Chain A
């Protein structure tokens, strides 16, 4: 047994092969990233694994085909050198060094040292002389390596963008088609017409159009269109191109919130990536100042909780487009108002300055050109999120929609809701209550 192994060792560049295999193994195992991720990383990810694999193959190859040791040795050296650039600095140097030793041992091995010595003196007579091997390594190594790295860098450039970022909302042209492909809601069209007509009649700045910070508003700070109070069908807003919802609704919490030019634009329906459509209320504000922001980015397996370190400055955004299924807020520390898909805010309401507390929002989507979160802390945690307002995605979506928004989409006000709305309107009509809440407290 031992003699057999001894014979095996002596008839081939055993140690060179062994070093090479170990080097390849080390380079292969070091990343230990899921193969899917490596593939997604593209050239950079795959080439690392490829080099490890080639080294393992070379080491094995030279054991079973010692006659080809020159080629195997040179390639081992070349790939070891390449690993330094493309694979975690050659498996954190260890793999590269092992590979170079392996390659050099392989090249240096000879079945007959005396004959080789004679051949060496005869220069390139039999097998590679020392100089020949070195020249081979340099020629085969450096040139392709430089090409490889240059190519790798070109390929590692970020993928081209699929589309422009769909953040700036593109509103419907007034009176235009709502663009609702599903057409499962006959009210949509009438709602859309209503919004378009109302918008132009009032001379309100069209939502999304570049306009002054404060649009012209009627005196009294708050404008409620009586007609919209009495006709509670909803205007609908076309979602931005490229906007795709996930079907999961996340939670957005704020201790204090001060916004300018709060306006409710209507219902918006997003396509859901897994099928179906996600309904949401669209609220747009021109700026926000948020005390103690907490956003949960939900998920079925895990979620990410974004919070602010205690005593951090307030989070701020410029124009914020907030698509949500529920908003609950407290005005002046007294009146808690809750809007849902069934009980949306009165449309075409503009509140130039609104300061509220204890805000709870179930958001579908938040979009803003500028976001500032001082003292951000993102912590992954357990599953979170709920399914609300998803329609047309098969059995689960239907059930969720029924649970979330009731059997019939709310088109008429209950007595309690009407009362709440009246109280809100009365409150909003009193400018004294609209000062930033924190100033009131201080």
Chain B
């Protein structure tokens, strides 16, 4: 690069700068993984797979929309919003078909409860046993009276809203995208899985 030349990199400075950064990263990572700090998440263009044992949340909204993932082809999706949720038994899978590696996926699991707020997802399927309180189907999506930030939809599209929601049983979500305003994680386990895009 510039060995022997007068201008160049002082590798001592480089190291000394990186060391405190590494310490900060370690502290932040520890804070995130122990649920002290909340991370935020916004993923799309990767198929997102979610499996949870139980989701206990408030301010559920759902309406139909169209998304254009990857190939710019419009696909129907259910835009679901959840204001606040406590999720137990979370398994989050991010899959991709990488040219050299084939089907690869990142699998994130945690045995502890995850606190999330302002979850927004464009689902291509959603299953589970639903228990809802104060449920309302047919309210115009632009006039939801509750919901996560950004959960409102266009005028003229009806939707579902519920003040409280409990999803359990065999809860599975396939989504085009997932966003979380904040996500408190602890005891996170991340692993790479090959051969599938749906590791959960």
Name A's B-contacting residues (CB within 8 A).
9-11, 13, 15, 30-33, 37-38, 40-42, 44-45, 47-48, 73, 77, 80-81, 84-89, 92, 96, 100-101, 103-105, 107-114, 116-117, 120, 128-131, 133-134, 137-138, 141-142, 145, 149, 152-153, 156-159, 161-167, 242-248, 250, 272-274, 295, 297-304, 309, 323, 363-382, 385
Contacts and interface: CB of A to CB of B under 8 A. Distances in A.
Given A32-B44, A108-B11, A130-B12, A377 B127 contact: yes
Given A297-B159, A377-B127, 14 more contacts: A44-B181, A45-B181, A73-B17, A84-B29, A105-B14, A110-B8, A110-B9, A114-B6, A153-B182, A159-B149, A165-B146, A245-B140, A304-B76, A380-B124
Contact of B158 (A9, A30, A299, A301): A299
A49 B110 CA distance: 27
Given A108-B10, A302-B64, A372-B131, A42 B156 contact: no
A297 B158 contact: yes
Contacts of A105: 9, 14
A193 to B, nearest CB: 28
Contacts of A45: 40, 42, 150, 179, 181
- The prevalent SS among residues of A at the interface is mixed
B16 A295 contact: no
A244 B179 contact: no
Contacts, number: 337
Contacts of B161: 165
A152 B25 CA distance: 18
Size class of the B contact interface (CB-based, 8 Å): 35 or more
B20 A134 contact: yes
A131 B15 CA distance: 10
B123 A302 contact: no
A299 B154 CA distance: 10
A370 B17 CA distance: 57
A160 B22 CA distance: 38
B93 to A, nearest CB: 14
A210 to B, nearest CB: 16
Interface in B154-180: 155-163, 169, 177, 179-180
A297 B62 contact: yes
A366 B137 contact: yes
A166 B136 contact: yes
B187 interface: no
B101 interface: no
A137 B21 contact: yes
Contacts of B158: 245-246, 248, 250, 297-299, 385
B145 A164 contact: yes
Contacts of B45: 32
Contacts of A369: 133-135
B8 A274 contact: no
B89 interface: no
Q: Which 7 pairs of residues, A with B, have the shortest CB-CB distance?
A: A40-B150, A302-B76, A365-B138, A130-B16, A273-B140, A299-B64, A31-B42
